[in-house]
């Protein structure tokens, strides 16, 4: 009974998680009596409602794994129900597990270190979580020539005073030479299991085993609803949000190193690589071939799970089996209209979600110290075109939301909201909005207010730096704003003029779009950022 209450309170910030109320009058130490849950299990639900319940379960369980640390370790189909009012109800709290904050912090730091290729920090994380075994007396990792032979001290074998030096070197070398077509976590899976495990004494910690068990259980639920549904797509934003809100000195240093150089300039190539990877995945999804209605969807979190599963083979012995702060980190995880996480924009969402968080001070410090003059200059370069297009898309999305809000206010409440309020949780209209408690809504509103204040303060700070940087920095800022703004407005024109049909055609260079008139449709050019020097060498917009 206490476990159920504690679990419900730990996830109260989500607004859609519930547990059965205990009837204390009839409950004893041997008998637990709860109120009747009016709802249905997965197999009794229509596909749309079942998918809804699966998404909610994935997000709730992942949030407990990386944020609250109080985990329902057996979230199978029989322990989950979708209530008639849309809430997700967890049952049976006999198998619960707690994850120490230090472990959650280390896991988040490991994500940052892996993405930023900081293998020294990643090696230290392996030690902190008990993945890499050290000798108790000397603190040295244990190494062997090949599997089956006895382990020896790595410091004595390789003659080094740094216990992790050799392991870090081998990890970095292996990651640099592994198949480049794999994602970062996919490469780590291969490296640990095939390259390092045969020679280094490693051990799968209970936290990893818990992660494996939990996600395998959720995978089974998702497979019954939709074989193509990727639970890691929904889980990714939560792991990234946790990594953007570190509390330990090591975690803060890892976050700063992942985003900025020592000169406080943005890790430019790293951001370009992230965008390139996301773009490539989106293209793959467009051309992927589905066989028998089942498609493989590549994903970073899927590789984390694969890494965890592979790590289980390393064991040589059996392993025994403030709400406001949390909601600030998790705000905007759930899309209010679609009721789902957007894994494809997880990286940007993670940064956006912690801006107003009480635990986001480290990330705000990074944004405060950022050399914005250098960043704007880089964003006006030809290689930054994908980033400008993403920014324009985000701006267009915000404009569409405002336009839709105004239309809804003029035309009354939408049918989807009405259906949801009426308790219809089986139709598509009733599924468009997830349930939320008044307390959760109030927390989100406070977080949004804090976020707005933080954004305004950062904008004032960096605009001041930009204008103090001289004519060149001002010109770069104007060019960037004009390009992103024009493209964003162009994207929402079809919403304003239904008969407008934009079509993009590429120039001979295959890079810059040209204006095109096709039966009343046109396409504006993307302003070229190839510098054309004006007076005093200040670049101006070409075209």
Find the domain containing 76 and state its range. 1-98
Q: 40, 73, 98: which is the final residue of a domain? A: 98
The length of the chain is 543
Q: Is 42 within a domain?
A: yes
Residue 475 domain-assigned?
yes
Q: What pTM was computed for the model?
A: 0.64
Of 98, 132, 153, the residue that ends a domain is 98
Low-confidence ranges of the chain (pLDDT < 50): 181-182, 286-344, 414-432, 504-543
Q: What is the CATH number of the domain that holds 19?
A: 1.10.510.10
Confidence at residue 89, expressed as pLDDT on a 0 to 100 scale: 94
Beta-carbon contacts of residue 211 (< 8 Å; ≥ 6 apart): 65, 305, 308
Contact 99, 210 (CB under 8 A): yes
Q: Are 199 and 312 in contact (CB under 8 A)?
A: no
Q: Quick check: is 540 in a domain?
A: no
> Residue 275: inside a domain, yes or no?
no
* In-domain check, residue 340: no
Of the three residues 98, 122, 145, the one that is the final residue of a domain is 98
Q: How far apart are CA 115 and CA 119, in angstroms?
A: 10
Q: Is 533 helix (H, G, I), strand (E, B) or coil?
A: strand
pLDDT confidence of residue 369: 95
Distance CA 492, CA 403 (A): 10
pLDDT for res 223: 80
Per residue in 426-484, pLDDT (tens digit) is 444 344 467 888 888 888 888 888 888 999 999 999 999 999 999 999 999 999 999 99
Nearest C-alpha neighbor of 376 from the set 222, 287, 480:
480
Write the pLDDT tens digit of every residue in 386-428.
Answer: 888 888 888 888 888 888 888 778 766 544 444 444 444 444 4
Q: How many domains does the chain have?
A: 2
pLDDT, residue 238, reads 77
Q: Is residue 208 part of a domain?
A: no
Within-domain flag for 534: no
Q: Is residue 244 part of a domain?
A: no
Cα–Cα distances in Å, from 313 out to 158, 172, 304, 309, 542? Answer: 26, 22, 15, 8, 58
**By CB neighbour count within 10 A (0-12 exposed, 13-18 middle, 19+ buried), where does 386 fall?**
middle
Q: CB of 474 within 8 A of CB of 466?
A: yes
What pLDDT, on the 0 to 100 scale, is given for residue 518? Answer: 41
């Amino acid at each position: 009974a206490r476990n159920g209450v504690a679990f419900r309170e730990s996830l109260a910030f989500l607004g859609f998680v519930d547990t059965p109320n205990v009837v204390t009058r009839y409950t004893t130490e041997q008998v637990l009596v709860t109120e009747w849950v009016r709802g249905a299990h997965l197999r009794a639900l229509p596909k749309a409602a079942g998918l809804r319940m699966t998404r909610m379960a994935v997000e709730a369980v992942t949030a407990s794994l990386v944020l609250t640390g109080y985990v329902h370790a057996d979230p199978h189909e029989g322990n989950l129900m979708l209530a008639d009012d849309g809430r997700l109800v967890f049952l049976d709290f006999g198998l619960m597990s707690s994850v120490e904050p230090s472990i959650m912090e280390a896991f988040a730091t490991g994500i940052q270190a892996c993405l930023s290729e900081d293998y020294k920090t990643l090696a230290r994380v392996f030690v902190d979580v008990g993945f890499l075994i050290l000798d108790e007396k000397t603190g040295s990792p244990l190494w062997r020539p090949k599997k089956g032979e006895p382990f020896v001290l790595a410091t004595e074998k390789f003659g080094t005073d740094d216990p992790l030096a050799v392991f870090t070197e081998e990890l970095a070398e292996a990651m640099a030479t592994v198949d480049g077509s794999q994602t970062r976590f996919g490469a780590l899976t291969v490296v640990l299991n095939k390259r390092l495990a045969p020679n280094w004494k490693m051990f799968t910690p209970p936290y990893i085993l818990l992660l494996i068990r939990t996600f395998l259980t959720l995978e089974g639920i998702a497979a019954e609803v939709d074989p193509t549904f990727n639970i890691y797509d929904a889980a990714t934003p939560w792991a990234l949000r946790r990594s953007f809100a570190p509390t330990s000195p090591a975690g803060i240093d890892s976050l700063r190193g992942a985003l900025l150089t020592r000169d406080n300039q943005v890790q430019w190539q790293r951001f370009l690589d992230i965008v390139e990877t996301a773009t490539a995945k989106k293209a793959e999804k467009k051309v992927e071939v589905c066989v028998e209605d089942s498609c493989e969807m590549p994903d970073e979190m899927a590789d984390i799970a694969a890494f965890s599963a592979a790590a289980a083979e390393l064991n040589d012995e059996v392993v025994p089996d403030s709400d406001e702060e949390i909601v600030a980190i998790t705000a905007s995880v759930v899309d209010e209209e679609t009721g789902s996480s957007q894994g494809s924009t997880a990286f940007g969402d993670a940064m956006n979600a912690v801006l107003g968080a009480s635990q986001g001070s480290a990330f705000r410090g990074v944004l405060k110290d950022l050399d914005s003059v250098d960043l704007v200059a880089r964003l006006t370069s030809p290689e930054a075109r994908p980033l400008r297009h993403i920014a324009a898309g985000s701006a267009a999305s915000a404009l569409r939301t405002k336009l839709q809000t105004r239309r809804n206010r003029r035309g009354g409440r939408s049918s989807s909201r009405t259906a949801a309020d009426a308790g219809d949780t089986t139709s598509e209209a009733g599924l468009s909005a997830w349930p939320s408690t008044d307390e959760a809504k109030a927390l989100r509103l406070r977080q949004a207010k804090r976020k707005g204040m933080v954004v305004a303060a950062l904008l004032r700070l960096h605009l001041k730096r930009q204008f103090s940087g001289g004519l060149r920095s001002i010109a770069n800022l104007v060019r960037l704003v004009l390009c992103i703004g024009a493209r964003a407005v162009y994207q929402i024109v079809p919403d304003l003029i239904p008969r407008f049909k934009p079509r993009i055609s590429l120039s001979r260079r295959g890079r810059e779009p040209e204006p095109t008139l096709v039966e009343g449709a046109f396409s504006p050019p993307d302003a070229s950022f190839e510098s054309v020097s004006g007076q005093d060498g200040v670049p101006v917009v070409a075209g």
